[in-house]
């Protein structure tokens, strides 16, 4: 069964520091994709970044990058130069059997 | 603003009742997904419709049903409501049928069953 694990329930980081949010996955699918979503306190889910398992380069979108290590089955999200507005829940997800499967999330708090 | 709209924003109802949640996808998107987010279960996929047809099914209870209409809006019907159905219900849409395509989430409907 597909499984996504986010081991950090909460993280506290100083503003302007870089932060890494961990995500490991368990899959037997030969081809798969990893997603990261952000959920601010207002509740909406915001797509951040996507990495396909066959992509050669790590995905980047502005201050977000995905540290994809296939052998370790990890897809960590790196946020550079964190800002107060980055405080939110962050969810890692992957596709399994035609459905998006989410991890339990990490609550990130950026301190001024 | 993702372009996906959901109504109502909040809903409070009693156990045993039936409610309907409505979703309008982004203009041009053919797929609609429904998700449930609760404290104990996390964020779970319920069902996907593509161009009016059911495409994929997740952990959707038999008391729940959904449909997608010819104008592509979708409704999620929840019946015989229980306290445990209290959750945030999201609708998302994407251009095509592939789950790997970027999904745009609506603001959610917060359902409280008392």
User: What does the pLDDT look like over B11-42, one tens digit per residue?
Assistant: 999 999 999 999 999 999 999 999 999 988 88
Average pLDDT over residues B39-66: 93
Nearest Cα of chain A lies from the Cα of B40 at a distance, in angstroms, of 10
Chain A residues within 8 angstroms (CB to CB) of chain B: 33, 37, 42-47, 50, 52, 91, 95, 97-105
Nearest Cα of chain B lies from the Cα of A83 at a distance, in angstroms, of 20
- Contact of A105 with B42, CB cutoff 8 Å: yes
B14's tokens: 């009693």
Q: Do A44 and B106 touch (CB under 8 A)?
A: yes
Counting as low any pLDDT under 70, the low residues of chain A are 1-2
| Listed residue (B81, B99, B97, B101) closest to B89, CA to CA | B81
pLDDT at A27: 82
Buried b vs exposed e over B8-31: b needs ≥16 C-beta within 10 Å?
A: eeebebeeeeebebebbbbeebbb
From chain B, pick out residues whose CB is under 8 angstroms from the CB of A103.
Answer: 42
Q: Do A44 and B99 touch (CB under 8 A)?
A: no
Q: How many helices (H) and strands (E) does chain A have?
A: 0, 12
CA atoms within 13 A on the CB side of A25: 30
| Listed residue (B107, B112, B95) closest to B35, CA to CA | B107
A77's tokens: 């999200």
| Listed residue (A31, A71, A32, A67) closest to A49, CA to CA | A67
From chain B, pick out residues whose CB is under 8 angstroms from the CB of A37.
Answer: 105
pLDDT at B10: 97
What are the backbone dihedrals phi and psi of residue B85, each rounded to the nearest 5 degrees, phi first?
Answer: -85, -10
- Contact of B38 with B86, CB cutoff 8 Å: yes
Q: Do B105 and A45 touch (CB under 8 A)?
A: yes
Nearest Cα of chain B lies from the Cα of A61 at a distance, in angstroms, of 14
Q: What angle do CA A31, A34, A35 make, to 5 degrees?
A: 145
Exposed/middle/buried for residue A81 (C-beta within 10 Å: 0-12, 13-18, 19+)? exposed
pLDDT at B59: 84
- Give the span between the Cα atoms of A77 and B101, in whole angstroms: 19
pLDDT at A1: 55
Question: Which residues lie below 8 Å from residue B71, measured CB to CB, with a gap of 6+?
Answer: none
- Contact of A78 with A57, CB cutoff 8 Å: no
Question: In a 3-state reduction of DSSP, which class is residue A19?
Answer: strand
pLDDT digits (tens, 9 = 90+) for B66-104: 999 999 999 999 999 999 999 999 999 999 888 878 899
């Amino acid at each position: 069964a597909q499984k996504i694990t986010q081991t950090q329930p909460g993280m506290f980081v100083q503003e302007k520091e870089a932060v890494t949010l961990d995500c490991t996955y368990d899959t037997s699918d030969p081809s798969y994709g990893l997603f990261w979503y952000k959920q601010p306190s207002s509740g909406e889910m915001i797509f951040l970044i996507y990495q396909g398992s066959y992509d050669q380069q790590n995905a980047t979108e502005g201050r977000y990058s995905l540290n994809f290590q296939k052998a370790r089955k990890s897809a960590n999200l790196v946020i550079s130069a964190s800002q107060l507005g980055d405080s939110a829940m962050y969810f890692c997800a992957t596709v399994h059997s035609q459905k998006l499967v989410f991890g339990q999330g990490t609550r990130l708090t950026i301190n001024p | 603003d993702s372009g996906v709209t959901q109504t109502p924003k909040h809903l409070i109802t009693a156990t045993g009742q039936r409610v309907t949640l409505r979703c309008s996808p982004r203009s041009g998107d053919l797929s609609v997904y429904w998700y449930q987010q609760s404290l104990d279960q996390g964020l779970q996929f319920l069902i996907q419709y593509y161009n009016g047809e059911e495409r994929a099914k997740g952990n959707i209870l038999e008391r729940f049903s959904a449909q997608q209409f010819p104008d592509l809006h979708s409704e999620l019907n929840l019946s015989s409501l229980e306290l445990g159905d209290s959750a945030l219900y999201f609708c998302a849409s994407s251009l095509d049928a592939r789950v790997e395509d970027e999904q745009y989430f609506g603001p959610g409907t917060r359902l409280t069953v008392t």
